[in-house]
Amino acid sequence: MQSKISQYTTEIEAFEPKTAEDLERFRIRFLGTKGIIKDLFDEFKSVSAEEKRVLGKVLNQFKQSAEAKFNAFKDDFTEQTNATNKEDLTLPGEGFQIGARHPLSLVRKQIVEIFKRLGFVLAEGPEIEDDWHNFSALNFPEEHPARDMQDTFFVQKPTGTESDEDTKQEAFALRTHTSSVQVRLMEARKPPFRALMPGRVYRNEAISARAHCFFHQVEGLYVDEKVSFADLKQTLYYFVQEMYGEGTKVRFRPSYFPFTEPSAEMDISCTICKGAGCPMCKQSGWVEILGCGMIDPNVLENVGIDSKKYTGFAFGMGIERITNLKYQIKDLRLFSENDVRFLKQFETEVI
Ligand code: PHE
């Protein structure tokens, strides 16, 4: 055993690796889990106690010299490899992924641009609303189903902070529509108004391909002297031509909203089959895109505007719906999953 060790020691002393591979071969041969040193230690177990005293020391020294040799060159080679990588500027870059603008942001931008051309300015309001701005000022009767726990997410006040003042205030909720921003705007300023109010809204719905617990709306408001239903029709007709292309037909169907009178829903000729009938429009040739109407005089009076002098119209549309009709997206959940493979498909469509 001793002679084997001295033979290996000469080999180790003479060893001079030229490449990282040489060094790796050395490591496997001597220091590897099935290498020479492991074998020697196994052999060492079966020698006599007397021999052990001498051999133990020799064997340990041998192991240390093999490790020292390996360590001496290890750093050289790792440094060398790094240095080569750093210096070779001709190597192709790694390339990194950049994100994409969200289709809902792109479409919101398009909607805003169109209405800006008609003189509409942007306005915003809070997502956590009180009953007055979301419902009462908008003429919702006390027992209206939209106030029901089914549709509205109520927000609990933090416990422990309740003062007498707080307990007197009514419940807070996540706004169920952007019509609440109309109220805030009309309370804060004097007519005339021509404003567009995009924002996120919340409804307590089970999440599926066709419904989500939050979505996005754009609210429009126009209040002045002598604003008529004809103004409303022409404004929305212009919007549709700009958004979906000239020749897209519109139709208004009578409807009901507590805050508009008369109220209507507007349909456009199906963007997919152009009115011929397809699954998207359920073979009818028409798809609904928004709700609208003349602002109910009660609402104007609620916010301190003289309803004898001023009239106005309002409309509200879902950005998801406008986007679906433009790009034929069949599952609403895609909008909130943030999968870049989905998001990247829309970028080229920026105006
Ligand atoms: N707020 C209504 C909704 O969410 C839409 C609407 C807005 C209708 C303005 C008429 C006027 O369904």
Chain-centroid distance, C-alpha 22 = 51
184-210 pLDDT, tens digit each: 999 999 999 999 999 999 999 999 998
d(CA 195, CA 82): 60
Atom of ligand 1 nearest to the CA of 292: 10
Average pLDDT rounded to a whole number, residues 316-322: 96
What is d(CA 313, CA 115) in angstroms, rounded to the nearest whole number? 14
Q: Which of 32-41, 92-101, 313-322 has the highest mean pLDDT?
A: 313-322
For 325, phi then psi, to 5°, come to: -70, -25
**For the CA of 295, the nearest atom of ligand 1:** 11
Instruction: Give the mean pLDDT of the chain.
Output: 89
**What pLDDT was estimated at residue 330?**
86
Q: Which of 135, 221, 257, 259 to mutate to test the pocket of ligand 1 (most atoms within 8 A of CB)?
A: 257
* Mean pLDDT to the nearest integer, 71-81: 76
Distance between Cα 337 and ligand 1 center (Å): 27
pLDDT category at 350 given cuts 50, 70, 90 is very low
- For residue 90, the model assigns a pLDDT of 84
Atom of ligand 1 nearest to the CA of 179: 1
- Does the Cβ of 291 fall within 6 Å of ligand 1? yes
Structure-block tokens of residue 34: 């099935």
Contact between 207 and 213 (Cβ < 8 Å): yes
For ligand 1, whether the C-beta of 180 sits within 6 Å is no
Task: Please provide the size of the chain in residues.
Answer: 351
Closest residue by Cα to atom 4, ligand 1, is 177
Q: From CA 198, how far away is CA 216, in angstroms rounded?
A: 7
CB of 314 sitting under 6 A from ligand 1: yes
Distances (CA, A) of 50 to 38, 41, 53, 200, 209: 21, 16, 6, 86, 82
Contact partners, residue 70, CB within 8 Å, separation at least 6? 23, 26, 27, 30, 31
Q: Establish whether residue 177 lines the binding site of ligand 1, counting it when its CB lies within 6 angstroms of any ligand atom.
A: yes
- Pairing of β 193-202 and β 121-122: parallel
Q: What's the token pair of residue 301?
A: 């009076």
Task: Tell how far the Cα of 74 is from the centroid of ligand 1, in angstroms.
Answer: 72
**In contact, 180 and 108? CB cutoff 8 Å:** no
Q: At what angle do helices 36-44 and 49-87 cross, to 10 degrees?
A: 160
pLDDT digits (tens, 9 = 90+) for 18-56: 888 888 899 999 999 999 999 999 999 888 888 888 888
Side-chain-facing half-sphere of 329: CA atoms under 13 Å: 22
What average pLDDT does the segment 66-75 reach?
87
Q: Is 246 annotated as a binding residue?
A: no
Q: Provide CB contacts within 8 A for 181, sequence distance 6+.
A: 123, 124, 125, 197, 199, 219
Number of continuous H segments (helices) and E segments (strands) in the chain: 13, 10
Out of 179, 200, 265, 319, mutate this one to test ligand 1's pocket (max ligand atoms within 8 Å of CB): namely 179
184 C-beta closer than 6 A to ligand 1: no
- CA angle 250-256-261, nearest 5°? 90
Region of poorest pLDDT, from 30-39, 66-75, 283-292: 66-75
Please give the distance, rounded to the nearest whole angstrom, from the Cα atom of residue 315 to the centre of ligand 1: 6
- Closest listed residue to residue 108, CA positions, set 333, 323, 338: 323
pLDDT average, residue stretch 119-139: 95
> Could you report the per-residue pLDDT of 224-276, keeping only the tens digit for each?
999 999 999 999 999 999 999 999 999 999 999 999 999 999 999 998 888 89
Distance 42 CA to ligand 1 centre (A): 84
| pLDDT for the residue 168 | 44
Among 129, 152, 177, say which to mutate for ligand 1: greatest number of ligand atoms within 8 Å of CB. 177
pLDDT tens by residue, 146-189: 777 668 898 887 666 555 455 445 678 999 999 999 999 999 99
- Order of strands, edge to edge, in the sheet holding 311-318? 121-122, 193-202, 214-224, 311-318, 286-295, 260-269, 250-257
317 in Cβ contact with 217 (< 8 Å): yes
- Residues 1-24 pLDDT 10s: 888 888 999 989 888 888 888 888
